[in-house]
Structure 1
Amino acid sequence: MTEKEEAVFRSADMSLVQLYVPTEAARDIIYKVGQLDIIQFRDLNSKVNEFQRAFVKELRKLDNVERQFNLFKKELDFRDIPIKLFPYEFTNIPQQTEIDELIEGSQLLEDRVVQLRDSVDTLNQKEVDMKQFKYTIQAVNNFFAVQGDGIIENEEVALLSQLESGGEAHSASSFISGVINRDKVGTLQQILWRVLRGNLYYHSEELPEEIFDSKHNEYVAKNSFIIFSHGSLIQERIRKICESLDADLYDVETTTEARKIQLTKVNTKASDLATVLGESENALNSELIAISRDLAKWWEIIAREKAVYRAMNSCDYDNSRKTLVAEGWTPTDSITELTTTIQEYDASQSVPTIINVLDTNKTPPTYNRTNKFTFAFQSICDAYGVPKYKEINPGLPTIVTFPFMFAIMFGDLGHGFIVTLAAAALVLNEKKLNAMKKDEIFDMAYTGRYVLLLMGLFSMYTGFIYNDVFSRSMTLFKSGWEWPEKFTVGETLYAKYVGTYAIGLDPAWHGTENALLFSNSYKMKLSILMGYIHMTYSYLFSLANYTYFNSIIDIVGNFIPGLLFMQGIFGYLSLCIVYKWSVDWFASGRQPPGLLNMLINMFLAPGDVPEPLYSGQSTIQIFLLLIALICVPWLLLVKPLYLKRQLDREAKEHAEYSQLPNDEENGVAQNGEHEEVDDDEDHEEHGFGDIMIHQVIHTIEFCLNCVSHTASYLRLWALSLAHAQLSTVLWSMTIGNAFGPTGIVGTFMIVFLFAMWFVLSVCILVVMEGTSAMLHSLRLHWVESMSKYFEGGGSAFEPFTFKGLLDTVF
């Protein structure tokens, strides 16, 4: 086994391999390749319709099995039967007979489950019907007040019955009864009143329980109703109106004794139906429970089989020679592993598989190797764009810079400790959590658990430097300031400087009137320095890219003038900031100059330095300004003029070649080297005008970005101050008020206000502020850093693999 390339700083070396696979071994060979997870197959049938490829029939069979599995899963989810998920090991290639048995067994199971399900649904519908019939009979009994046999006491109903029979009111044969959804009762009343012009009597009662509606798969509130009218035509019209509103009508007997007998029969049928329904439900549940034990394993087998045939459909199948030709990209250091695996399989076969490494001018996909620690950081960069093949991968420096930029904005030892604890819980329980089914938000946190861990640790470090723990300060070392021991009331106190605090921010600044002014100036300048360092080292990556791709013109025409321009202005500003910090202005008796005004005067009034920072400042600033001005036309013209010269030379050579006699052209073609054919990739032809426009845009964008990107790093200062101030305000408005009162009231206030402070700290300062700082750190990497060297435009390496085939299912 050859040692694998790390492929973190740059993408791995890729090779295009070609496999000649005997047809009888094609399925097994592709399956073996899928287990290796090292080849990205090229589609050699891109011009062939999906339904005209060689293995469509096999895929249709497997699609049908997946449909059956989806049906099983739907039934299991509906009945809350969990699917057993185990880390199945698939080391051996399943035999074709095993797949055929699985396909046949799935069909039998589907027939059985569908039959039982339909039977249960039919019985459920009958049970619902019997229940509604029972409630309708009870409603009719409740409506009629019986004195004797079938005598109606309600005068209005008796009148309607009399009109129907043409004589005395002696029966209730004119009513229509049934059940309707409660939300349609009002609609039914309005329609009947308008159609019959009030010639009816309507009565409704609410059912004592909700009824299951199989059409909408939910329980619905319903009402029973009784409608009295006269005339068969009118009653038929009433029936049609009720049915149009999805009402269920029932024929209820007209006499009390008949209704008692009818109700007894309904209860008996309902009891027998419940028995049969229970047995059918048990049979269906037993069948589904048995399926749930192996469904995940079956599904994985079918999903792998389907992936194999899809990969085979992308290969060139020569039916006459019974050979499958496959092409794909693989890491160069994995070719030995691929060859060894296939040779081990070929040892038991009569016809071997042939592997060729092809020479090609196609651009390979980009493959950066990751592990569980680096995966999330690489995903952050890949979300912006996939690096071009062999260019520097931004994922490596992001491991350090992303959490550190976050920590500068989020710097608090206490809040960082909370983030660290949460991330540590995810890291320490990753095996258990990995086997669990996670929702989208929790899965994002779990995937980025190592990012969160570094964010928390770095925040604890910056919080220690800021001397900030939940807006409180720590006195770990002797303070560098001393307060006067004697003072009068109302006197403004000034601390005396006695030394330098050992590390971090001196706790003496906490609570002083000018604390915000001091931290404001300190963090603003610190953010400029961090931005300068971040952009400078990012810009140096472009030099590494130009050197690797042997692009001397980019070094001379882009990198060198760009570096001089950026360092001459913002490098100079950063150096002045550090120098200003190093001078003891109080001892020198001078007023420290404003660096912002100094930078503005450097451009608007060259040579004029109202408040000098050091001797000879005007000369140095004029020199740096001249260099910056020279760099602009340097950026603008050098590369386009060089490329124009190259284009003119190529055009001249082409013209000389085209003037050769035909026989000389043929001789050159025959004696020359073989051509590499690129049949997939298009190369755009750029004239001098296109090159010039591109360079003008690059020059303007670079010069403006030097200013805007440096200013963009001030977000480090702004969010850091905002986080500290919010933390201070939250402390003073909650738990800060709990330390005054004593006794029971004091105890209650401490407990209640501490809980309030802790919940608000986690929700607002950790979650909301942390998310904000993370997004700002993300922007600094995507825009300010990666724009200095990142070209992108690459295609990610997506090997044929069996991993994650069912992630969207379970």
Structure 2
Amino acid sequence: MFKPLQMRRIRILVLDSYLDRVMNVLGKLRSVQITEVKEGEKEISREKILERYSSLLNSIYYLIDVLKIRDEEIERVSVPEKSSGEYLNEMEKNINSIVEEAESISERLEKISGERKILKSNEFALNCLSSLGIDAGWLGTSDFLYVTAGFLDPGDVEELKLRVRETTKEDHIILMESFKDRILAIVVTLKGHQNDVEGVLKGLRFDALELTNKNLREIKERLESIKEIEDRLHKDLDRIRDEHSKDILVAKEMAQIEKNTQEMVLNLGKTDRVYTINGWIPAREVDNLVREVREASDGCAVIRIYEPEPDEMVPVLLDNPKPFKPFESITEMFGLPSYNEIDPTPIIAITFPLIFGLMFGDVGHGAVLALAGLGMIFMKKGNESYWNFGMILLYCGIFAIIFGFLYGSIFGNEEILSNLYEDLGVGHTYTTPHGEFRTLWMSPTHNMMELFGIALFVGVLHMGLGLIASAVNKVQESGLSSIVPSLSKLWFFCGEVTIIALIFRFPIPLFIQVAEMYPLSDIVLYGICIPVALMLISELIHELHPFGVKKLLGAVGTGLFDVFETSSMFLSNTISYSRIGILAVIHAMMMMAIYKICSMEMISNIFILSIMIVVGGNILVLVLEGLIVFIHTIRLHFYEWFTKFYGAGGIKYSPFIIERRYTELTD
């Protein structure tokens, strides 16, 4: 916690005859990230095996598609341990025989399906012509006439009549009938106008009827025959699926495992008979790795374990307790911490729902969010993304409930909890034109300034944690010499907040009390001047090696600019946290407006309408403002907090994993 998991660099030297067994062990351990150590020419035999596995997988996916095989739970199949090449030869033989049989049936189905579509089109066309009393035999060119039929869009009908009239000089007949959303048109004209009429029809997107068979009875008989053939062929495919679906699923898993393994093997270094496996592994998994690899290689492997070098890019695996795990997804949205950097996830796990609850405090709305989170957790078991988001919603809902009790609000109603607090004799009483009510802590609509002060205080604590984390990171990176400028920034920040509280009279807890206890001159001296001096001295010491007047002036200028930039950044970031109070007030005001509307005489007399407005208003606030509050909570962490200390320069730990769902290895 607070730091990524300790990693170790490994190097394994293994004889080629044991490589497949060792790779299977590494995949089963799921803890080794393999890195590429060999550039240039790859081992030709392994590349050919990889190509064959890729081709085999294409055949398997073809069978899955043609036979409509679904992933399903089957009894695991015991697979004897063999070399990758032996697995490949066996699977290619089995799969190719199934492909040959299925492909033959599929091609026949595709061919006969094409014939069925053509016949269906002919049948439809003949039925359309029949409805107009047109014999299909009339279509075409005779000694004197040209007859054609086809479909066009309704919007082109008038254009067709006009242009055919202009072309044929009234020597034509046009019959029309509407079918669905298109118009069937039959055009009859003299044979001499054929070419001109065909040109007109092409310009109007006229889909001429193309009849390969003009005998309706023969078409229907052939369609019935095709249906029988298709049914028989589909049954043949079903038989193949029933006989071989298990074998195909097992082959898919085995081929994918071996393909992934061969891709990894191509990245390994190799001498004549020895392969070199380089990678990273969590320190706590080292003993298990050594034991398993030695057992798999019968002791014919050399394993070396190394500490990471100071400037080495080490893959990052976050290590947090399970309750904090969901918030790793928020950390990763911004970027992973570098290996030696503080992991902010444990702090986010506390501050994220806390800030969300401050802005969205309502018992009812919080309960709905918590239930929604529980629903995502239980309905999407096994889906890590849903589990993470569901847990975050659950935590945010719980904190919204807590602050809802403190604000005295249930679905925006302040009377229910007010009566409870009055019976218990706890809380603070507020007087309004409509009567009195109680809250356990404060009312966002009646304690706006106090709430803004609390919001800024939360911001100060939040950014203060960031500055402390920054100091820790810099000490780890540069040693204790960096602690003075880091702590000077924190000191300067506290002094600046105290002056803000004094000048603007913001009731920021602790800081407003300090501001009232001491004169402004003392606050400026001890809270601003001294930390600024320390920051400038640190800058000068850092820059003046060797000493020079120009370097001195440059260092002073750089230091003063940094002070100004730091001051403006602290000011804008601190004020930014006022959004916590603003959104809390907006939440309360929106609910107040909804109940105010419902209390209007013309609405309150209609019970169903009042209920609809209350329910609809709550849903609107829950969804719309809930989303806004969530986005602003993320923003405060990403832009106001992370920028104080977080570099996010880590690379993700990606171990080599062999997933087995349908198979298990046996000795």
Tell me the TM-score normalised to structure 1 length: 0.69
Q: Distance in 2 between matches of 1:309 and 1:612?
A: 68
Where does residue 661 of structure 1 map in the other structure?
none
Where does residue 646 of structure 2 map in the other structure?
790
- Of 134, 147, 169 in structure 2, the residue corresponding to residue 175 of structure 1 is 147
CA drift at 1:122:
2.1
Q: Distance in 2 between matches of 1:112 and 1:195?
A: 57
Q: Distance in 2 between matches of 1:564 and 1:707?
A: 14
- Of 575, 579, 595 in structure 1, the residue corresponding to residue 505 of structure 2 is 595
Q: Distance in 2 between matches of 1:10 and 1:391?
A: 7
SS at the partner of 1:29? Answer: helix
Where does residue 218 of structure 2 map in the other structure?
265
Q: Distance in 1 between matches of 2:555 and 2:580?
A: 37
- Of 448, 469, 472 in structure 2, the residue corresponding to residue 541 of structure 1 is 469
Q: Distance in 1 between matches of 2:209 and 2:452?
A: 76
CA drift at 1:130:
1.9
Q: Is the 8 A contact 1:188 1:242 kept in 2?
A: no
Where does residue 781 of structure 1 map in the other structure?
637
Where does residue 440 of structure 2 map in the other structure?
none
**Identity over aligned pairs, percent:** 16
Kindly indicate whether residue 275 of structure 2 is the aligned counterpart of residue 324 of structure 1.
yes
Q: Distance in 2 between matches of 1:518 and 1:291?
A: 73
- Of 255, 265, 268 in structure 2, the residue corresponding to residue 315 of structure 1 is 268
Q: How does 1:54-133 map to 2 (within 5 A)?
A: 55-75=46-66, 83-86=70-73, 95=82, 96=84, 97-133=86-122
Q: Is the 8 A contact 2:335 2:649 kept in 1?
A: yes
SS at the partner of 2:281? Answer: strand
Q: Distance in 2 between matches of 1:113 and 1:399?
A: 54
Q: Is the 8 A contact 2:316 2:652 kept in 1?
A: yes
Where does residue 526 of structure 1 map in the other structure?
454
The number of residues matched between the two structures is: 644
| Gap change, CA 1:132 and 1:64, over 3 Å in 2 | same
- Of 460, 472, 482 in structure 2, the residue corresponding to residue 554 of structure 1 is 482
- Of 379, 389, 408 in structure 1, the residue corresponding to residue 358 of structure 2 is 408
SS at the partner of 2:409? Answer: coil
Q: Distance in 2 between matches of 1:384 and 1:625?
A: 38
Kindly indicate whether residue 621 of structure 2 is the aligned counterpart of residue 765 of structure 1.
yes
State the AA in 2 paired with 1:562.
Answer: K
Kindly indicate whether residue 20 of structure 2 is the aligned counterpart of residue 48 of structure 1.
no
| Gap change, CA 1:353 and 1:468, over 3 Å in 2 | same
Q: Distance in 1 between matches of 2:62 and 2:81?
A: 24
Q: Is the 8 A contact 2:376 2:390 kept in 1?
A: yes
Q: Distance in 1 between matches of 2:603 and 2:197?
A: 80
| Gap change, CA 1:527 and 1:616, over 3 Å in 2 | closer
Q: Is the 8 A contact 1:413 1:464 kept in 2?
A: yes
Q: Distance in 1 between matches of 2:366 and 2:404?
A: 8
Q: Is the 8 A contact 1:532 1:571 kept in 2?
A: no
CA drift at 1:325:
0.8
Kindly indicate whether residue 400 of structure 2 is the aligned counterpart of residue 459 of structure 1.
yes
Q: Distance in 1 between matches of 2:594 and 2:250?
A: 53
Q: Distance in 1 between matches of 2:407 and 2:611?
A: 24
CA drift at 1:205:
4.0
Q: Is the 8 A contact 1:202 1:228 kept in 2?
A: yes
- Of 466, 491, 494 in structure 2, the residue corresponding to residue 567 of structure 1 is 494
| Gap change, CA 1:185 and 1:478, over 3 Å in 2 | closer
- Of 364, 368, 374 in structure 2, the residue corresponding to residue 418 of structure 1 is 368
- Of 28, 31, 35 in structure 2, the residue corresponding to residue 38 of structure 1 is 31
Where does residue 664 of structure 1 map in the other structure?
none
For residues 620-675 of structure 1, give each alpha carbon's deviation from its aligned partner in whole angstroms, at most 9, with x where no partner exists: 64344454134335324524533543xx59xxxxxxxxxxxxxxxxxxxxxxxxxx
Q: Is the 8 A contact 1:83 1:295 kept in 2?
A: no
| Gap change, CA 1:305 and 1:560, over 3 Å in 2 | same
SS at the partner of 1:778? Answer: helix
Where does residue 392 of structure 1 map in the other structure?
342
| Gap change, CA 1:534 and 1:765, over 3 Å in 2 | same
Kindly indicate whether residue 611 of structure 2 is the aligned counterpart of residue 754 of structure 1.
yes
For residues 162-201 of structure 1, give each alpha carbon's deviation from its aligned partner in whole angstroms, at most 9, with x where no partner exists: xx646xxxxxx75345x55768975987887777676544
CA drift at 1:693:
9.2
Q: How does 1:645-664 map to 2 (within 5 A)?
A: 645=545, 648=546
Q: Distance in 1 between matches of 2:583 and 2:507?
A: 24
- Of 575, 578, 582 in structure 2, the residue corresponding to residue 714 of structure 1 is 578
Where does residue 375 of structure 1 map in the other structure?
325
RMSD: 4.4
- In structure 1, runs of 5+ residues without a counterpart are 1-7, 167-172, 209-220, 254-261, 437-442, 481-499, 577-592, 603-610, 650-686
SS at the partner of 1:452? Answer: helix
| Gap change, CA 1:696 and 1:201, over 3 Å in 2 | farther
Q: Distance in 2 between matches of 1:294 and 1:695?
A: 71
| Gap change, CA 1:594 and 1:354, over 3 Å in 2 | closer
Q: Is the 8 A contact 1:735 1:754 kept in 2?
A: no
| Gap change, CA 1:614 and 1:416, over 3 Å in 2 | closer
Where does residue 801 of structure 1 map in the other structure?
657
Q: Is the 8 A contact 1:532 1:710 kept in 2?
A: yes
Q: Is the 8 A contact 1:35 1:801 kept in 2?
A: yes
Where does residue 228 of structure 1 map in the other structure?
188
Q: Distance in 1 between matches of 2:602 and 2:78?
A: 64
Where does residue 249 of structure 1 map in the other structure?
210
Q: Distance in 2 between matches of 1:223 and 1:403?
A: 63
Tell me the TM-score normalised to structure 2 length: 0.83
State the AA in 2 paired with 1:782.
Answer: F
Q: Distance in 2 between matches of 1:325 and 1:191?
A: 80
For residues 407-449 of structure 1, give each alpha carbon's deviation from its aligned partner in whole angstroms, at most 9, with x where no partner exists: 110011110011111222333x25xx2358xxxxxx8554311
CA drift at 1:555:
0.5
Q: How does 1:307-706 map to 2 (within 5 A)?
A: 307-318=260-271, 321-347=272-298, 352-358=300-306, 361=309, 362-370=312-320, 373-427=323-377, 429=378, 433-434=380-381, 445-473=386-414, 474-475=417-418, 479=422, 502-503=426-427, 505-506=428-429, 511=434, 518-549=446-477, 551-556=479-484, 558-571=485-498, 595-596=505-506, 617-618=518-519, 621-625=521-525, 627-639=527-539, 641-642=541-542, 644-645=544-545, 648=546, 698-706=562-570
Where does residue 589 of structure 2 map in the other structure?
725
State the AA in 1 paired with 2:505.
Answer: L
State the AA in 1 paired with 2:57.
Answer: E
CA drift at 1:775:
1.1
| Gap change, CA 1:735 and 1:65, over 3 Å in 2 | farther
